[in-house]
Chains A and B, each alone.
Chain A
């Protein structure tokens, strides 16, 4: 009963002091609104960054063959090194603890034709795990499988834009396309977030590619993925061992800096992640900054509100309000207002972020968002500080003798 009465008293006070209510509510709503918008923009920036740099798998190393620059074990220098299928098997056999998966990649450009449409596309002869390397997403049909490798099938998985170029609006699955001189059956269509060029690629089984090329066993790139749990240091160690192993296999001087090249994506990843974490720090900094500005705003309003009410509080005390009653009245009022308006500010900002979506992509802000936990946490922080900011002057006002408060004109 008393409880309900307290709230009734508070609602009355709020309703009859509209300007004051509006000011403090608006400050909180604005504070949380700006915080969420800025934080969301920061996240949008991060999204764009990720899209640019972190499209592909990051636990991979690319092995290329080159020419040696030193004579070794009776071989002359300037010898062209070539990888073959046995190298893949040897790596599998020797590094089972490090290896997540391994795939060759044989890249060839090929004129590709469907009915009257034709174009020149890069083709890649690969093994099924290659799907993970590029994070290829299958839209229709399937990716290459083990059976394709063994049977050396003439199956192709083509990019979304290849379909757009060659098939227009026709259904590509099950149709035959001419790659070079040979007909391949389209078994899958993929998309890739890495951009247009990544979606104009054709994947075929590498064994088929080798068969076409006079049934050889040559491989121009080997892509090795290590187990992510190795971490950065483990990856560097693995890279070192792998380089020595390959040099030994191919009779290359261990001191020769040419012959075998390894591009370790995780190295680049490390750099990119450093950049990403700087971005994160900036976002957090901006977030904390706006939150502090919001806290200062609400504190000012609360100090002003309590100051304005000093006399009223004196009257209430003369009529029998205990200090406790005075403080709790002010606190309940401020918490009520800040909670409601904080909630509205939060919802409004989240909706705005949602509505923006990709509209600001030109400004490198894509899909700005804020996770609910951060949003709610920030709102609660603002409410708590609003309460603290109200509590201090309220406590002072409650402890002034009513006679002093009443004199305050």
Chain B
């Protein structure tokens, strides 16, 4: 699903340049649930942003679902993002004046799906994360866990190939975190490829594979025995 070869990325900080990713080789197969771990500054979020086409790579190659991702302008990136990728952010990033259902349906709007269909499939995804009753509520009326579940439903609504979650539990307490991880695990069991960036060990253990980054290189990459989040809820 994802093939990354010899990926380099540096940021210009004034006259200095900060080399963040120093040659990453990384493959993800379909249906995997991968945790990307590392301390802050290790480059894990940068890696995720490049995979998510929110950021550009300097050197190396990146292939997503057989498509070589290069020469990205914003328009092309937007189209790829809409087609291939779903995002879940630490700070939820829901649009605050739209209710849960409208937030979930928004990616479909950009796919050109008609209004009625959008509503219908938006409701389906809200049901999947157990928030049917909250469809008409604004984000401000939802708890943190509920917000993140709406965000996951929104990420899934576009039927992406890969779901990218950047610290999805970073703003949540542990019980709520496990609820969210439970949703993520369920989606993964339906065959969706998911990448989770986290620095929490217990969250990483709920994935099927853990990749550790340190100073811009992968220092560890191993398959693990997945811990079911449901146990903790």
Contact = CB atoms under 8 A, between A and B. Distances in A.
B109 interface: yes
A325 B74 contact: no
B157 to A, nearest CB: 9
A9 B109 contact: yes
A17 B102 CA distance: 15
Contacts of A8: 115
Nearest to B99: A16
Given A399-B74, A401-B55, A12 B81 contact: no
Interface string A287-324: 00000000000000000000000011011111111111
A319 B54 contact: no
A271 interface: no
Interface residues of A, number: 30
A323 B115 contact: no
Contact of B55 (A1, A324, A403): A403
Given A320-B79, A321-B78, A322-B78, A315 B110 contact: no
B95 interface: yes
A8 B81 CA distance: 24
A44 B158 CA distance: 61
Nearest to A323: B74
Q: Which of A312, A320, A321, A325 has the most CB of B within 10 A?
A: A320
Contacts of B81: 317-320
A2 to B, nearest CB: 6
Given A12-B102, A16-B98, A318 B115 contact: no
B97 A319 contact: no
Interface string B64-85: 0000000000110011011100
Contacts of B110: 316, 319-322, 325
Contacts of A12: 98, 102
B14 interface: no
Interface of B: 49, 52, 54-55, 74-75, 78-79, 81-83, 87, 89, 91, 93-95, 97-98, 102, 106-107, 109-112, 114-115, 154, 158
